[in-house]
Amino acid sequence: MNARRFPTWPVRYVAEPAHPLLHPVLASRWSPTAFDGVATVNLDEVDSLLEAARWSPSAGNSQPWAFIVGRRGEPEHHRLTRHLTESSQAWAPSAGLLIANLSHRLIENTDWEFSEFSTYDLGQAVAHMTFQAQFLGLSVRQFRAFDRAGLTAEFDVPPHWEVTTMSAIGRVPTAVGPHATTTRTTRQRRPTSDVRWRQRTVGDR
Ligand SMILES: Cc1cc2nc3c(=O)[nH]c(=O)nc-3n(C[C@H](O)[C@H](O)[C@H](O)COP(=O)(O)O)c2cc1C
């Protein structure tokens, strides 16, 4: 394994207004739709992303996740690219790394749930991977815009597993910031006062 290589701090972008105690990896993360189409993600970086997912918590330590990994130039990257929808086709192929995120939904050959929390746990593992990527100076856009049936057939995924989401991971050109995404979604967030659950009283809607 190569010597430890740390990312290109200082962080280029920080969410506004950033809470002063928020970790820079969290404050600087956003989901780009523009990647450097030449930059690569190296094997050590890929290993560290999988390691981050591996150490994610899961219900009963069930670890209900698996990942189909394709770096640009590898056959898997091309095979993953084939099943993108029109919207993700516009930006995901330029990412140096594509990953399909699989959850273990059923016990093999039954219709019994493998774990009540399999998609929850997969999401958490992908979140860990996302923050590890950010730490390495890579950016991630998770997405659902792919042909699930097509990808399932392409990689012979058995029925007790589900291709739940994909991640496009790569470097972002310096001039690109979080407001340059090509989608119609905004980055506005509900305030913490709204996120904090409060007991409703009679008369509240
Ligand atoms: C489960 C999941 C599915 C998503 N699907 C898509 C998608 O199909 N297409 C897309 O452009 N972005 C997709 N996104 C990215 C979100 O739109 C994005 O995270 C959100 O707008 C918040 O922006 P931010 O990540 O920059 O904070 C998805 C994200 C998640 C977690």
Q: Is 35 a pocket residue for ligand 1 (Cβ < 6 Å)?
A: no
> E strand or H helix at 104, and its extent?
strand 97-104
Res 9: pLDDT: 46
pTM for the full model?
Answer: 0.92
Q: Is 65 a pocket residue for ligand 1 (Cβ < 6 Å)?
A: no
Rounded to an integer, what distance in angstroms lies between the CA atom of residue 137 and that of residue 33? 16
Res 103: pLDDT: 98
Res 181: pLDDT: 64
Res 16: pLDDT: 65
Q: Is 188 a pocket residue for ligand 1 (Cβ < 6 Å)?
A: no
Q: Is 31 a pocket residue for ligand 1 (Cβ < 6 Å)?
A: yes
**Homologous superfamily in CATH for domain 32-173:** NADH Oxidase (3.40.109.10)
**Residue 74: how many other CB atoms lie within 10 Å:** 13
Residue whose Cα lies nearest atom 9 of ligand 1: it is 143
Residue whose Cα lies nearest atom 4 of ligand 1: it is 143
Which residues, given as ranges, of the chain have pLDDT below 50? 2, 9-10
Rounded to an integer, what distance in angstroms lies between the CA atom of residue 35 and that of residue 137? 12
DSSP assignment, residue 146?
A: B
Q: Which token pair is 92?
A: 């995901």
Res 154: pLDDT: 98
Res 10: pLDDT: 47
Residue 205 alpha carbon to ligand 1 centre in Å: 29
Q: Is 182 a pocket residue for ligand 1 (Cβ < 6 Å)?
A: no
Res 17: pLDDT: 66
Res 89: pLDDT: 97
Per-residue pLDDT tens over the stretch 99-146: 999 999 999 999 999 999 999 999 999 999 999 999 999 999 999 999
